[in-house]
Amino acid sequence: MRTRNILMAGLCGLAVGSTSAFSLGHAHGQVLLGRPVDVSFDVHLDPGMDLEAACLSARIVSGENPWGAGQVQVSPLPSVAGRSPAVRVQSFRQADEPVLTIHLSAGCTGSITRTYVFLVDLPDSIVPSTTPIVIPRVEAEAPPAASERSFAGNSGRSGALPTPPGRGETVGRPPEQGGARPPVAEEPAPAVVLAPPVRQARPAQVPASAAKPRPAKP
C-alpha cells in the first residue's frame, strides 16, 4: 500500500550546546488502523557524534488523546552500510484515530522538537469490494384482454360471475348508441272464444198427492 503520510515539521525550541551537532530528518513507514505504531526517523549527526548520547524521546497523540510515556518505545538505529543513523518509534497500543501525531525530541541539556503528522491508513487485509450486486429483473405482467375486462366489469355490478362463452360461440355485441333500430312487425293478438253459459238443471217437482203418505187400513 502506498504511504499517504503527510509530514508537518516544526522547530519548537532553540538548539543549544551539543544539540547543534545533529538534526532530525524524514520519517519512514506508515501508520495502520488497528495496528501498533512502528516508524523510523532519520537523524543527521556531525562527525564524531554518538546516537546513544542524543537523549532521544517521543510523544504520541492519537487524534486529540495523548498516550502515556509507558506506551511508547524509542530505539536508536546506528548507521549501517547504505543507511544513515535513525531512531525507531514503536507503541504498545493500536492506532484508533484517523490522524496520529508524533512529537520527536532530541538533546539532553537543550532539546529540539520536530512534529510529524500521519494520516492513518487501512491495513492490507481490508480490501474494498468491487463485485457488482446483481438485482433480478421483474417482468411486467401483460394487461388483461378487452373481453376479460368486460366480464370483470359485469360481474362487479351484478355480483355473479358470468360464464365465459364456449368454443364456437360468439358473444353478441350490444347495440350501438345513437343508431336507429329496424322496425319490428307487431303480431296480431289471438282471438278470444267465449264458451256458452252453462244452465243449471232444476230439480223435478213431486206432486203433493204423492208426497203425503196414505193411512194404513184396519
* Burial environment of residue 49 by CB neighbours within 10 A (0 to 12, 13 to 18, 19 or more): middle
In a 3-state reduction of DSSP, which class is residue 208? helix
What is the pLDDT at residue 28?
Answer: 94
Angstrom distance (rounded) from CA 25 to CA 40:
10
Extract the residue ranges of the chain whose pLDDT is less than 50. Answer: 1-3, 5-19
Question: Which pTM does this prediction carry?
Answer: 0.50
* Burial environment of residue 208 by CB neighbours within 10 A (0 to 12, 13 to 18, 19 or more): exposed
Residue 151 near residue 61, CB atoms below 8 Å = no
Quote the cell numbers at residue 81. Answer: 552500510
Q: Write phi, then psi, for 21 (nearest 5 degrees).
A: -90, 0
What is the pLDDT at residue 68?
Answer: 94
What is the pLDDT at residue 44?
Answer: 86
What is the pLDDT at residue 29?
Answer: 94
Domains detected in the chain? 17-119 (2.60.40)
